[in-house]
Amino acid sequence: MFKDIFSIRGRIRRTEFVLSCLIYAAALFGSVFLAALTNLIFFYIIVITTWFAGTVFRITQGVKRCHDVGNSGWFQFIPFYFFVMIFADGDRRDNRYGPNPKYKEDHNSINQIGREK
């Protein structure tokens, strides 16, 4: 989980996507809270930096989640597609974006049960 967080290659599960959104929201809320509480310019710079890095982080995680569902990363910019990324199950098999992150074991092993060696 959380490998190559700024790369758009591969697929991620719903759990990692939701956790990344929560981390982004918590970091942004915390920095805005500190900036509002202290009224120091330094914390406003931290807010801008957190917002920029967090937006890049969230978009790259969204691209990977779209890949898990089997769509292009551009789909995340469709209004309300966020709910599809949260609730839809990913492709069970490998797709053109990579292997299934949920099932890393061999899917053919179930077909070998009961067969002679």
Domain range annotation of the chain: 14-95
CA distances in angstroms from 72 to 21, 23, 63, 89, 113, listed in the order given = 19, 24, 7, 16, 36
pLDDT tens digits, one per residue of 49-65: 999 999 999 999 999 99
| 109 pLDDT above the threshold of 80 | no
Using alpha carbons, select from 52, 68, 58, 55 the residue that is nearest to residue 9. Answer: 68
CB 1 within 8 A of CB 16: yes
Using alpha carbons, select from 46, 15, 49 the residue that is nearest to residue 33. Answer: 46
**CA torsion angle 104 22 10 62 (round to 10):** 140
CA distances in angstroms from 33 to 24, 29, 42, listed in the order given = 14, 6, 13
Lowest mean pLDDT segment, chosen from 59-63, 70-74, 85-89, 99-103: 99-103
Q: Which residues pair with 95 in a beta bridge?
A: 98
E-only strand ranges, 9-116: none
| 117 pLDDT above the threshold of 70 | no
